[in-house]
């Protein structure tokens, strides 16, 4: 089947089997390797992408669901100010995730900050439990997200008062 | 899963006509069950699939004084995003323990209730609450109490050839609401089991109690529940022991594994104690 959708802000089109997973399409058809295809059942969260503005495990998204949708991968998210806040926040807090889970952690954290601009530690831990990686130190993750939240709030404030 | 053809209807009537033309088609809601690879994953044969994800009319939530009505394609994340108290708190806590937030962005309530091989997380609590499900086929529709979807052997007997469109959840106040998931909380395991206990009290007496345990099948004894109704609370130790004994007999007649029965009885005892503590407090 032919798939037309918006990928990282650009209109794209590709051929796929109806049962192909989005994670597979991103890696094989577009060489976007940020979404890792690991458990193929949504548990590990390493294939996280944003689908129509919602963070979802791309291994559970079938090709036919992508038609006409807007998909943002970590490669596209890296070009945004929200990503810069998270990168700087995590760096400042000494909580940088490993290369394997970085995309999934940042996309999950961004989804949380969209919902709750000043999240509590329990909310951060609950949200980031969606990403399964051994590099995590829970307290460092909390520090990283909270620092990023501060940077983001400051940026929003300056933008609003410019 | 091998898929021959995918039909993505935009409206419910399109979906109903597609199902009429393809009565053997697999209905796909959020796809989290259908596309997750488990030990007993989906049958590896070519199928026509009707995906309901684009049907906006199945994504509504409304509330009256008596019940909440949830469209079957409402995602679990959308349910959790409702303001506190909109849906019963015990249901909310069950939904909050399903998968991760990202999985809940895809998974739907209708999908959770329609899994055919095993009762999924929302089924036991909604069955205990006497929730109703509306099924549509062609121009006909019918409301079914979820308890009627438990077959004579306790296994799920989900309707085929019909589309689940709405779930109506009664808003009766429960003095005790326990929902306990055994197994890995975040993992969509086919080995997890669920225990639900709901109780209402009136003038320091137990007016209504419902206990359901769903492992590879659903266990619920209305006889034991009615024998407990009317008992003064706090329940006396002998009442608790006799109810636990009755449940032990029920388990042995149902032929469930000893380990499952032992877990069930522990949870029943704990529910009674919690009910007594709640009353004492």
Structural tokens at position B151? 């077959």
Average pLDDT over residues B26-44: 72
pLDDT confidence bin for B189, thresholds 50/70/90: low
Give which of B247, B128, B251 is closest to B180, Cα–Cα: B128
User: Is pLDDT above 90 for B254?
Assistant: no
Same domain, B146 and B15: yes
Same domain, B152 and B15: yes
Same domain, B153 and B262: no
Same domain, B60 and B75: yes
Residues of chain B neighbouring A61 (CB-CB closer than 8 A): 31, 35, 106
A60, B32: Cβ pair inside 8 Å? yes
Average pLDDT over residues A41-66: 93
Question: Does residue A138 sit in helix, strand or coil?
Answer: helix
Q: What is the ipTM of this complex?
A: 0.93
Among residues B136, B170, B204, the one where a domain terminates is B170
Among residues B155, B170, B185, the one where a domain terminates is B170
Structural domain count, chain B: 2
Could you tell me if B159 lies within 8 Å of chain A, comparing CB atoms? no
Structural tokens at position A152? 């983001």
Residue of B nearest to A65 (CA): B53
pLDDT of residue B72: 97
CB-closest option in A62, A108, A127 to B35: A62
pLDDT of residue B37: 65
Residues of chain B neighbouring A41 (CB-CB closer than 8 A): 36-38, 188
Q: Which residues pair with A159 in a beta bridge?
A: none
Same domain, B162 and B260: no
CATH code given to domain A81-160? 1.10.150.120
Same domain, B204 and B113: no
B102, A126: Cβ pair inside 8 Å? no
Domain that holds residue B150: 3-170
Among residues B144, B170, B196, the one where a domain terminates is B170
> Residue B24 is part of a domain; what is its CATH number?
3.30.465.10
Same domain, B140 and B20: yes
Residues of chain A neighbouring B53 (CB-CB closer than 8 A): 65
Average pLDDT over residues A110-135: 92
Give Cα separations from A14 to A40, A67, A87, B50, B138 (angstroms): 22, 10, 32, 22, 35
User: Is pLDDT above 70 for B280?
Assistant: no
In this structure, are residues B10 and B55 in contact, taking their beta carbons and an 8 Å threshold? yes
Residues of chain A neighbouring B32 (CB-CB closer than 8 A): 42, 60
Among A25-39, B175-189, B250-264, the range scoring the smallest mean pLDDT is B175-189
Residue of A nearest to B41 (CA): A41
Q: Name which of B47, B76, B101 to mutate to probe chain A: the one with the most chain A Cβ atoms within 10 A of its Cβ.
A: B101
Q: Does domain A2-76 have CATH number 3.10.20.30?
A: yes
Tell the burial category of B216 from Cβ atoms under 10 Å away from its Cβ (0-12, 13-18, 19+). middle
Average pLDDT over residues A40-53: 92
Same domain, B26 and B141: yes
Give Cα separations from A103 to A72, A90, A91, A108, B223 (angstroms): 11, 13, 15, 8, 54
pLDDT confidence bin for B185, thresholds 50/70/90: low
Q: How high is the mean pLDDT of chain B?
A: 89
Which residues make up the CATH 3.10.20.30 domain(s) of chain A?
2-76
B1, A55: Cβ pair inside 8 Å? no
Chain B nearest C-alpha distance from A142 (Å): 17
Q: How high is the mean pLDDT of chain A?
A: 93
pTM of the model: 0.92
CB-closest option in B5, B28, B103 to A42: B103
> Residue B180 is part of a domain; what is its CATH number?
3.30.390.50
User: Is pLDDT above 60 for B96?
Assistant: yes
Same domain, B21 and B53: yes
CB contact set of A96 (below 8 Å; sequence gap of 6+): A90, A102, A144
């Amino acid at each position: 089947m032919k798939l037309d959708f918006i990928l990282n802000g650009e209109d794209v089109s590709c051929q796929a089997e109806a049962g192909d997973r989005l994670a597979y399409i991103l890696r094989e058809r577009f060489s976007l390797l940020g979404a890792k295809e690991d458990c193929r059942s949504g548990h590990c969260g390493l294939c996280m992408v944003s689908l129509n503005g919602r963070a979802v495990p791309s291994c559970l998204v079938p090709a036919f669901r992508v038609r006409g949708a807007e998909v943002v991968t970590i490669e596209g998210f890296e070009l945004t100010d929200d990503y810069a806040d998270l990168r700087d926040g995590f760096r400042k807090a000494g909580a940088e995730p490993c290369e394997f889970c970085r995309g999934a952690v940042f996309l999950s954290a961004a989804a949380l900050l969209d919902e709750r601009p000043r999240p509590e530690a329990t909310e951060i831990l609950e949200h980031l439990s969606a990403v399964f990686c051994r590099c995590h130190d829970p307290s460092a993750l909390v520090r990283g997200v909270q620092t990023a939240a501060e940077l983001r709030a400051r940026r929003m404030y300056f933008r609003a008062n410019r | 899963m091998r898929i021959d053809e995918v039909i993505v209807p935009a409206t419910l009537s399109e979906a109903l006509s597609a199902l009429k033309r393809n009565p053997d088609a697999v209905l796909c809601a959020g796809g989290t069950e259908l596309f997750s690879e488990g030990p007993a994953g989906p049958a590896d044969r070519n199928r026509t699939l009707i995906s309901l994800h684009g049907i906006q009319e199945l994504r509504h939530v409304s509330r009256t004084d008596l019940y909440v009505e949830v469209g079957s394609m409402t995602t679990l994340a959308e349910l959790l995003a409702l303001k506190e108290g909109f849906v019963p708190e015990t249901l909310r806590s069950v939904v909050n323990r399903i998968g991760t937030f990202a999985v809940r962005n895809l998974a739907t309530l209708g999908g959770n209730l329609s899994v055919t091989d095993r009762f999924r997380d929302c089924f036991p609590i909604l069955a205990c609450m006497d929730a109703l499900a509306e099924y549509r086929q062609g121009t006909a529709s019918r409301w079914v109490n979820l308890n009627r979807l438990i077959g004579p052997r306790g296994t799920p007997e989900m309707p085929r050839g019909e589309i689940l469109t709405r779930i109506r959840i009664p808003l009766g106040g429960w003095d005790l609401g326990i929902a306990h998931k055994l197994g890995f909380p975040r993992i969509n395991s086919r080995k997890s089991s669920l225990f639900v206990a709901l109780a209402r009290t009136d003038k320091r007496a137990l007016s209504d109690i419902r206990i359901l345990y769903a492992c590879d099948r659903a266990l619920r004894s209305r006889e034991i529940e009615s024998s407990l109704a009317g008992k003064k609370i706090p329940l006396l130790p002998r009442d608790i022991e006799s109810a636990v004994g009755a449940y032990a007999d029920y388990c042995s007649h149902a032929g469930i594994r000893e380990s499952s029965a032992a877990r069930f009885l522990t949870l029943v005892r704990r529910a009674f104690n919690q009910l007594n503590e709640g009353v004492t407090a």
